[in-house]
Structure 1
Amino acid sequence: MARDGSSSPAKLERDERAPVDVSGGAAYEGPDRISSLADALLHHILVFLPVVEAIRTCVLSRRWARVWTGLPRLRLDDGSAGAVGSFPALVDGVLRRYDARVNLRDLTVSAHGGEEELGGLENDDVVSLVGAAARLVTGRFRLDVSRGINISEDYDEEANLLPLPCFERATEIAISIADMAVQLTPDNHRGRTFVLLTKLHLSDTFVADEGELLSEVVSHGCPCLKTLELIDIHAGARELTIHTASLLTLCVVSINDMQLLEVDAANLIWMKVKDCFDIDAAETEGSAMSLSTPAMEEFYWEDCCPKEVKLVREPAGFLHKIACVDSASTYFKFISGSQSFYTRILQLFSSTCTEVLQIEFPIKPESEEQNKFLHNVDLPYCSELELIVEKKEHTLTPTIVHLLKKSRWIKRFSLKICPKDL
């Protein structure tokens, strides 16, 4: 240490003083004890501030100049754009200046204003920020961009592409963007994969290439993927072929006009299919569902039945629950005697054993299809039968008696009656 005190603790303390003007009093001229804290502790403090306020700490002194670039969590919301004038400029500036050596464990970008509002995000801005996220994120990345678009009114079959590059260090990715088609990009020629990814969630968006690239990346580029959620996919995922040994949970809900769902997942334990196949799927050539899920424990079905359904490998053990909802009551609410779509699904599991079998449907004695179901279907072996019925001024007793006769090994029975849906 120099004798003149140029590097002494006293000299450093004087240099790091930050005058603070308290309300109605003189500026504080005491020592700046906060700046002497370790970076890790400062980061812990700053993550509780809005990102714009955290960035503004850089003007306090040279000590603070780049402290904010080491924050482990960032949330960029266009609600903050009013303070900076341009949300795209804020996002670009933050991600360009961020320290790539930092473990950015959680990055969320949320924008719900239109492109004309507050300099809202344009497609090029979204592509750029996703590319930056792929380089920086070591944990969760969440992108939620609606831009004020109502997809039912502003549907565009030629949605702009959103290439999703390889996130080599991310563990979770969740993307919701109403007017772009997500295109997962395999990078096989470099040997790069989503090697640490455990959860992929796509919602309220489009998928590129009819689901081919999505299927390829999920099957071959995500060796640790445990959860796959595809919800409200407006177009582009007509065929999904998933072959993976790591997947534990699969949720596919409201995928528009799906034609093929093929799942070969040796360790899958939970699966839900709802509102994916078209109402004419049973008559459509090529529509099919194939399952090879020997570890299955819970299966939920609320959909139209494709032309071909098969269980390549039955669950090897005792299932916890099978739930089937008659989607005919949704699609044909005002048509008497409509077809039930869950009959063949129940038949698919007729030789399996489950702790709970839950069936939900309207009581429609006038329906020939339902009468055939009651008299001919073979239900899975179950310990408990749960019926959820929509009563329409008809007696329940004949239906209950028939189903109890069809139920093998039953020990418990429960009934829930819902009022008629007006």
Structure 2
Amino acid sequence: MLFDEVFSDPIEERGALELPCFTRATKIALRLGFLGLSLPPSGVFAALRELRLSFVRFHGELTLDDTVMPFLEGLEIYSARVLASLTLRLKHLNWMNLSAVRGLLRLNAVVPRLKFLTVSCCFCSSTWLVAMAGVCIVAEELQVLRWLDWYCPRLIKFSQMPRLYVLSVSPFYPYGRHRQHTKFNPSCDRLLKTFSRIRCLEMLVFIEPHLGGVNPLMEGITRLPDIRFLHLQFSAHGHVYGASVLYMLTMCTGISNLKIGGDRYKDQDVCPPNCSCDRPPNWRDNKDISMRSLREVQMLNFRGKEHELDLLRVLVRVATGIRRIRITCHRSFAAWERLSAVIRSFARPETSVEVSQAPPSLQRQ
């Protein structure tokens, strides 16, 4: 219910809380139900290492710096409202997560020791984009960047990040006609073009439930950085994703490790015959890709569908150097113990095949 209020207008006033200056607290986590929040006018959080704020209503601006929180290492702001400007000058900050911060127009962060940054659903509204003042992030030690949000190089500036080795980008829609697709896909493409080389690329790919008469949009991604590890996480709603995987591989034929995550959730839809997701129809016969460097393929939430096995067959054919195939099956797939023999029937003799079933605690129906 609170999360629904993040994107609803108007929101009722619920009073405000002035946060006391806890001088000995090392961790503060507040879930305020959209009460207003303000920091004390004076004082120092001398021992604070971690600050988590969720469902908070701010008063337009928030500044956190070393004079107030001199040793802050972790910051999370989740599902917040009325925070138009966020300024950070924190030399010890190690990780930061900004998620669903509605109305954020300006972000200025000088965080020289930051190593892990996640930003999601803060700049997605076209209404805010018109008034957006810009983002500037100085984080030269950054190692992991998960930018699951709108991106424009004219408005969003990053410092040089020579240590960056993991990049996660906003959701990509390989099929569709909704206006969201025309906004997210170019944004995803722009961010990918910002980096010429990255060790590991993570992409979340959405295939919509109903694709009748929908044209492929895969050409919306025109180039990938020079990468070694590619992780594709699909939300496929029962659709075929082999064609989407192979399109991505045409732009990164030098990878050594490929991880594909299928749906964690129970299939809610049945893919109709001749569905757009299975185009081009000859993807199973692909002979144009050569993945000579690919050594390991991992598939998660495997359900034993024929199109999943078809994709594995293609990968074995185009990547003659595969030495390890690891399959983790969804618990709905009862025949997982026999799957190893099926894969070995078309894999090369020198390829190790490992099949297991994830424990229920790691899966969702």
TM-score range, shorter chain: 0.5 to 0.7
Larger Rg: 1
Distance 1:386 1:242, change over 3 A: same
Distance in 2 separating the partners of 1:335 and 1:358: 24
- The structure 2 residue matched to 1:366, chosen from 195, 215, 231, is 215
Q: Is 1:170–2:25 an aligned residue pair? A: yes
- The structure 1 residue matched to 2:107, chosen from 261, 268, 289, is 261
Deviation at 1:296, TM superposition (A): 1.1
Note if contact 1:293-1:313 (Cα within 8 Å) is conserved in structure 2: yes
- 1:330-375 deviations in Å (ceiling 9; x for gaps): xx99668543242223233x13422x2111113588255x4232x2
SS of 1:237 mapped into structure 2: strand
Give ranges in structure 1 of 5+ residues lacking alignment: 1-145
The residue type equivalent to 2:202 in the other structure is Q
Distance 1:362 1:328, change over 3 A: closer
SS of 1:254 mapped into structure 2: strand
Note if contact 2:172-2:204 (Cα within 8 Å) is conserved in structure 1: no
- 1:213-235 deviations in Å (ceiling 9; x for gaps): x32x34541110001111111x2
The residue type equivalent to 2:91 in the other structure is A
Q: How does 1:315-394 map to 2 (within 5 A)?
A: 315-319=161-165, 321-326=166-171, 338-339=182-183, 340=185, 341-348=187-194, 350-354=195-199, 356-363=200-207, 366=215, 368=217, 370-373=218-221, 375=222, 377=223, 379-391=224-236
Q: Is 1:194–2:62 an aligned residue pair? A: no
Give ranges in structure 2 of 5+ residues lacking alignment: 209-213, 270-365
- 1:34-60 deviations in Å (ceiling 9; x for gaps): xxxxxxxxxxxxxxxxxxxxxxxxxxx
The residue type equivalent to 1:242 in the other structure is L
Note if contact 1:288-1:306 (Cα within 8 Å) is conserved in structure 2: no
The residue type equivalent to 1:386 in the other structure is H
Distance in 2 separating the partners of 1:167 and 1:337: 45
Note if contact 1:242-1:264 (Cα within 8 Å) is conserved in structure 2: yes
Q: How does 1:143-222 map to 2 (within 5 A)?
A: 151=5, 156=11, 158-187=13-42, 192-208=43-59, 210=60, 212=61, 214-215=62-63, 217-218=64-65, 220-222=67-69
Distance 1:388 1:154, change over 3 A: closer
Q: Identify the residue that residue 255 of structure 2 maps to in structure 1.
A: 410
Give the length in aligned residue pairs.
258
Q: Identify the residue that residue 122 of structure 2 maps to in structure 1.
A: 276
- The structure 1 residue matched to 2:95, chosen from 249, 260, 279, is 249
Distance in 1 separating the partners of 2:229 and 2:105: 33
Distance 1:276 1:336, change over 3 A: closer
TM-score by length of 1: 0.53
Percent sequence identity over aligned pairs: 19
TM-score by length of 2: 0.60
Distance in 2 separating the partners of 1:159 and 1:362: 37
SS of 2:262 mapped into structure 1: strand
Deviation at 1:391, TM superposition (A): 4.1
Note if contact 1:357-1:386 (Cα within 8 Å) is conserved in structure 2: yes
Distance in 1 separating the partners of 2:196 and 2:169: 16
